[in-house]
Amino acid sequence: MTVAEEADKFGLHRVGARPPLGDYLRQTWERREFIYELAKARVQKQNQQNRLGMIWVVLKPTLNALMYGVIFGILQGDKKGPDFPVYVVIGVFLFEFFTSSMNGGAKSITGNQALVQSLSFPRLSLPIAQITQNLLTLMPMVAVMFIYAMILGTTPKWTWFGIIPLIALFTIFNIGIALICARITVHVRDFTQILPLVTRMLFYTSGVLFSVDRILNSWPWLVTVFDYHPLYQTLHLARAMIMNDAEYNPMSWLVLSVWAVVVLTVGLVYFWKAEERYGRAN
């Protein structure tokens, strides 16, 4: 009888072995308090050394919205459309959630190497903690976003509550993205150097600062492509629910839901498959 067969006979398992996916998810759920406390502690620590502290959570996207709004407002001229300031605020604030999820998720394993190599726990906890941290940061940002919308002339309405299921779907999508980026970074450390270029490209091509229907109306096929763009559809739905006289196609909810489920499923399986690699010294 081999050593492996003898160990299996007595219910012994290899240290660091990857559990079945169902057990893996259960073990992660059992550590939900650890995940939340880790995320909360990081939020509190994030800006504590700055004079303005947590104010930077909303000040940074505010300054970005102001800067990009002025520049792209001038460049677009008459094509920028009505309520352009609100349009930009919504786009910049929500896209910040995606950017921090992608970048933070990519570093969630490699940036916690000492923790990963010294303790036994499902590594899925770390990317989930990063998304939880970003979600906690997003809450005051969304509140300020609504305040800016009212200051800029938007009338409050019941559809504003639709932002809750929208953020839920967006969070699911971002978890999948974070998991994919986390594993890629473990294999290719240089990936973190490429990510800023990727996020910048997505920022300029996802309708954050421009209306697709107005800017790309000469290319109908390209406008159709954006009907299936997950980031654009997220921003489009948010604007339709918040801005005055804005409309949307209900199919946008289906498109975003499919993207969220597919990306989460792919990201989860892809990340889980490499579970045994995350604790190894490089």
Look up tokens 């294999």; give the residue. Answer: 187
Give a yes or no: residue 162 inside a domain: yes
Q: In whole angstroms, what is the distance from residue 206 CA to residue 193 CA?
A: 21
How many domains does the chain contain in total? 1
Give a yes or no: residue 141 inside a domain: yes
Instruction: Specify the DSSP class assigned to residue 209.
Output: S
Beta-sheet strands, E only, within the chain: none
Give a yes or no: residue 45 inside a domain: yes
Give a yes or no: residue 142 inside a domain: yes
Residue 173 clears pLDDT 80, i.e. is over it: yes
Residue 274 CA, chain-centre distance (Å), reads: 21
Q: What is the average per-residue pLDDT within 209-220?
A: 83
Give a yes or no: residue 10 inside a domain: no
Give a yes or no: residue 154 inside a domain: yes
What is residue 213's predicted lDDT score, i.e. its pLDDT? 80
pTM for this model (two decimals)? 0.89
Please, which residues have CB within 8 angstroms of residue 73's CB and are 6 or more apart in sequence? Answer: 80, 84, 85, 88
Domain limits for position 187: 20-277
* pLDDT band at residue 82 under the 50/70/90 scheme: confident
Give a yes or no: residue 1 inside a domain: no
What is residue 145's predicted lDDT score, i.e. its pLDDT? 92
Residue 12 clears pLDDT 50, i.e. is over it: no
CB-based contact 185:113 (threshold 8 Å): no
Residue 5 clears pLDDT 80, i.e. is over it: no
* pLDDT band at residue 168 under the 50/70/90 scheme: very high
What is residue 70's predicted lDDT score, i.e. its pLDDT? 86
Which amino acid appears at position 261 of this protein?
V
What is residue 50's predicted lDDT score, i.e. its pLDDT? 63
Please, which residues have CB within 8 angstroms of residue 13's CB and are 6 or more apart in sequence? Answer: 7
Residue 15 clears pLDDT 70, i.e. is over it: no
Give a yes or no: residue 11 inside a domain: no
Q: Give me the chain's average pLDDT, please.
A: 86
Residue 8 clears pLDDT 70, i.e. is over it: no
Give helix then strand counts, H and E, for the chain: 13, 0
